[in-house]
Amino acid sequence: MTSAFDAFEAGGVIAYPTEAVFGLGCDPDNEQAVQKLLDIKQRPIEKGLILLASNYSQLLPYIDDSKIPQDKRFTVLSRWPNGITQVLPCTPTTPKWLTGKFSTLAVRVTDQPDVVELCKQTNKPIVSTSANLTGEPPAKTWQEVEHALGDRVDFIVKGETLGFNQPSTIIDGLTGDVFRT
């Protein structure tokens, strides 16, 4: 593949920088691409995945915006862009290959330039899970990705993370309860 966009469009798995670590991602609407990503990670589908977007509107096909109470809306939206992943109610049509065993979906709006550019090119979010085998530490540079997973992914974005110290905090977007710090 010659670009992240080409790999995304062809149903490939892309490694790319996020806020703190490298992520693995693909087209969230392509079940075969998501299954390939899960196979690479050795991750069970039941755990669900994160969607990473350049703006909130890209998440609307997956998030049930009507279930976000008016009094919570400002709080939810004001947490982005940042290294905060929010678990929000999903639409009835959101694929189980994204939600796993849940009726919610983990989502994040980022300002990492490489991700923003790809999401703008595709006009949709990208699946996001750390670039590593389950149980191994996540890669922090494209060189680490190339060494550990280079023969398994279709394209590696040779950019840099935003320099955050740890992967995103995961919270319930409506209650603020913390799932992962």
Question: pLDDT tens, position by position, for the chain (181 residues)?
Answer: 689 999 999 999 999 999 999 999 999 999 999 999 999 999 999 999 999 999 999 999 999 999 999 999 999 999 999 889 999 999 999 999 999 999 999 999 999 999 999 999 999 999 999 999 878 899 999 999 999 999 999 999 999 999 998 888 999 999 999 998 7
Residue 87 DSSP code: E
- Which residues touch 14 (CB under 8 Å, ≥6 apart)? 4, 7, 8, 24, 25, 26, 118, 126, 153, 154, 155, 156, 157
Give the separation between CA 85 and CA 88, rounded to whole angstroms: 10
Task: Please identify which residue in the block is written with the tokens 């350049």.
Answer: 54
Q: The pTM is what? A: 0.94
Show the domains of the chain with their CATH numbers: 4-180 (3.90.870.10)
Give the separation between CA 71 and CA 28, rounded to whole angstroms: 29
The answer to whether residues 84 and 171 touch, using CB atoms and an 8 Å cutoff, is: yes
